Chain A
Amino acid sequence: MPKIIVEIMPKQDLLDPQGKAVANALHRSGHNEITNVRIGKRIELHFDRAITQGDLDAAKEIASSFLSNDVIEDVVAITKED
């Protein structure tokens, strides 16, 4: 199934409480080699036909205006999977 994948991460300089909690738990279970954990979102947009350049442009617009909030998050990747 063709899909566009939008990946969103909390901004680098913002505290990511989920990531911090997971990192603490990993350290408790002995994984001290992991220095930091950050958790973001992967959003899939599904299509029942081949994805066009127009779809990708639209996805880019949707990603920045609705799927993410640029005050607190960055869109790190928009990729297509056939």
Chain B
Amino acid sequence: MKIGVITYPGTLDDRDAQRAVRLAGGTPVPLWHADDSLKGVDAVVLPGGFSYGDYLRCGAIAAKAPATQEVVRLAKQGLPVLGICNGFQVLVESHLLPGGLIRNEHQHFICRDQKLIVENNKTAWTNLFEEGQEITIPLKNGEGGYIASDETLKMLEAENRVVFRYSEVNPNGSMNDIAGLTNERGNVVGLMPHPEHAVEPGFGPDTEIAMRSGVDGLKFFQSVLKALVNA
């Protein structure tokens, strides 16, 4: 299975995302923002970073890139898409997911191992988790405060489209403790924390068993491979 990872000018975590795909058993395909072909990949990851230097608004210019326009077109036909951090901001700016992301409450850049609750395990990227499972995924961002209108929040809750919620602490003032969302169909998922940084023992978050042994992020990439095999 081929999983594309788009690199924009200013992207940071594209290589980590490619490595996560490889560790999960998939074949990573590097994609370039200016190409309008996704090279026939089976799924796409929009990685973290600061695309276009966060000019205008985080993710706003990347949303207009030729590769993103193709992602938007194919996502509407069911292509699995995962947006991580800046990738989540790109999904929101491309209107694949509703709402917006603003500067963290208290204005601090936050970098920590963050506990999340998996609220929806029916998506292409979360089907290997248990509903209600607590996982630990590194979080690192300055503009991760999720906001939406009351109407949108009600709709997201009613349709079970909140995929991840912050557990124990809300690090950035996100409404309803929202850490990640999905679209109506469940093929597009966006979240602020970085699953690609929790995929290999020795490099992940600390767990009760051993330091840096957390690999909860690997299941995101294994989930999409399973979803593709079953599709």
Please determine whether B107 and A71 come into contact, CB atoms closer than 8 angstroms: no
Q: How large is the interface on A (under 10, 10 to 19, 20 to 34, 35 or more residues)?
A: under 10
Q: Which residues of chain A come closer than 8 Å to B228, judged between CB atoms?
A: none
How far in angstroms is the closest Cβ of chain A from B108? 10
Taking a contact as CB atoms closer than 8 A, the residue among A15, A21, A67, A72 that contacts B100 in the complex is A72
Q: Which of A53-82 contact B (CB under 8 A)?
A: 66-67, 69, 71-72
Please determine whether B99 and A71 come into contact, CB atoms closer than 8 angstroms: yes
B103 at the interface (CB under 8 A from A): yes
* Majority secondary structure of chain A interface residues (helix, strand, loop or mixed): loop
Query: What separation, in Å, do the CA atoms of A3 and B100 have in the docked complex?
Result: 30
B196 at the interface (CB under 8 A from A): no
Query: What separation, in Å, do the CA atoms of A15 and B143 have in the docked complex?
Result: 13
B133 at the interface (CB under 8 A from A): no
Q: Which of B70-128 contact A (CB under 8 A)?
A: 93, 99-100, 102-103, 105, 107
A2 at the interface (CB under 8 A from B): no
Please determine whether A69 and B57 come into contact, CB atoms closer than 8 angstroms: yes
Query: What separation, in Å, do the CA atoms of A6 and B107 have in the docked complex?
Result: 27
Please determine whether A72 and B147 come into contact, CB atoms closer than 8 angstroms: yes
B211 at the interface (CB under 8 A from A): no
Q: Which of A1-58 contact B (CB under 8 A)?
A: 14-15, 17, 21
Please determine whether B56 and A14 come into contact, CB atoms closer than 8 angstroms: no
Query: What separation, in Å, do the CA atoms of A64 and B105 have in the docked complex?
Result: 26
Known A-B contacts A21-B107, A69-B100, A71-B100; the reply to A14 vs B147 at CB < 8 A is yes
Q: Which residues of chain A come closer than 8 Å to B60, judged between CB atoms?
A: 66, 69
Q: Which residues of chain B come closer than 8 Å to A14, judged between CB atoms?
A: 102, 147
Q: Name which residue of chain B comes closest to A70, CB basis.
A: B100
B207 at the interface (CB under 8 A from A): no
Given pairs A15-B105, A66-B56, A69-B57, 8 additional interface contacts (CB within 8 A): A15-B102, A15-B103, A17-B103, A66-B60, A69-B100, A71-B99, A71-B148, A72-B57
Give residues in A with beta carbon < 8 Å to B.
14-15, 17, 21, 66-67, 69, 71-72
Give residues in B with beta carbon < 8 Å to A.
56-57, 60, 64, 93, 99-100, 102-103, 105, 107, 147-149
Q: Please list 25 pairs of residues, one from A and one from B, whose beta carbons are closer than 8 Å in the complex, sorted by A's number.
A: A14-B102, A14-B147, A15-B102, A15-B103, A15-B105, A17-B103, A17-B107, A21-B107, A66-B56, A66-B60, A66-B64, A67-B56, A69-B57, A69-B60, A69-B93, A69-B100, A71-B99, A71-B100, A71-B147, A71-B148, A71-B149, A72-B57, A72-B100, A72-B102, A72-B147
Q: 3 shortest A-B CB distances, which residue pairs?
A: A71-B100, A17-B107, A72-B100
